[in-house]
Structure 1
Amino acid sequence: MIYQGSCHCGAVAYQVEADISSALSCNCSICSRKGYLLSFVPGSNLTMLKTEQPLTSYTFNTHKIKHQFCPVCGCAPFGLGVDPEGNEVAAINVRCLQDIDLDALEIHKYDGKQS
């Protein structure tokens, strides 16, 4: 399925091809503060449709995920990284996707504080 996603102000828009039936809820410092619900997909499944200004990137701790932010509204619709096998991945914040029923998703808890 192809989902449309964006930041809050619409300056950043993208689409992602994925079958999203679950999401990861991590308790690390950034995910818990931002309220992320993440779905990881191959990086090639993410297509940028609109970026009015270059995205701002933030990394912390192990620097494995580059969290991408809209410089206008501050919304963080996705992150970019590499999986343990070296493949590019996109960590999609499913809260930024249109037409997705968050209540229907199976939520997996991840203890990022201890990782």
Structure 2
Amino acid sequence: MTDKPMSNRPMQKFHGSCHCGAVQFEIETDFPELTQCDCSICRRKNALMVKVHESKFRLLAGEDSLTEYQFHTRTAHHFFCKVCGIYPFHRKRIAPDHFGVNVFCLENFDPTGIAVRQAVGAAMT
């Protein structure tokens, strides 16, 4: 038995980017759930995220346009575009082989109907 939400949606590829288009990426997911975290940085950036295994994430362009921010335990790696400032994704603290991808950076994606889990990041030590 698994504690992971199951999705009845098919695996799909989505193209994503920052606002200015310098950072381009592609993900493949079935969107089992979306997460909204209450840690200090996530509250401020107000992103809605999907967890994607690193094998299902591909950076297409803009590696040199990314800047990284770390805080607290310096385990998670939050990436922002140096040009427009948008947060497209981060490498997760608890699951470092996964990315948290900001679904608002995905082209033609509508989050309607996908369960949103409230992640308790503020209480992590």
Counterpart amino acid of residue 81 in structure 2: C
For 1:29, the equivalent position in structure 2 comes to: 40
- Please state whether the residue corresponding to 1:53 is helix, strand or coil: helix
Q: Offset of 1:55 from its aligned partner?
A: 1.0
Q: Deviations over 1:64-103 (max 9, x none)?
A: 210111100010100124645xx61111111111121122
For 2:66, the equivalent position in structure 1 comes to: 55
Counterpart amino acid of residue 122 in structure 2: K
8 Å CA contact 1:5, 1:13 repeated in 2: yes
For 1:103, the equivalent position in structure 2 comes to: 112
Q: TM-score, normalised by structure 2?
A: 0.82
For 1:17, the equivalent position in structure 2 comes to: 28
User: Is the counterpart of residue 90 in structure 1 residue 96 in structure 2?
Assistant: no
- Please state whether the residue corresponding to 1:68 is helix, strand or coil: strand
8 Å CA contact 2:22, 2:65 repeated in 1: no
Count of aligned pairs between the two proteins: 113
Unmatched segments (≥5 aa) in structure 1: none
Counterpart amino acid of residue 13 in structure 1: Q
User: After the TM superposition, which segments of 4 or more aligned residues of structure 1 sit over 4 Å from their partners?
Assistant: none
Which structure has more relative contact order (CA 8 Å, sep 6+)? It is 1
Q: Distance between the aligned counterparts of 2:91 and 2:63, measured in 1?
A: 19
Distance 1:52 1:26, change over 3 A: closer
More strand by share: 1
Counterpart amino acid of residue 102 in structure 2: N
8 Å CA contact 1:21, 1:104 repeated in 2: no
Unmatched segments (≥5 aa) in structure 2: 1-11
In our comparison, the structure showing a higher alpha carbon Rg is 2
For 2:81, the equivalent position in structure 1 comes to: 70
Moved more, 3-12 or 21-30: 21-30
Q: Offset of 1:106 from its aligned partner?
A: 0.9
Percent identity between the two aligned chains: 36
User: Is the counterpart of residue 8 in structure 1 residue 19 in structure 2?
Assistant: yes
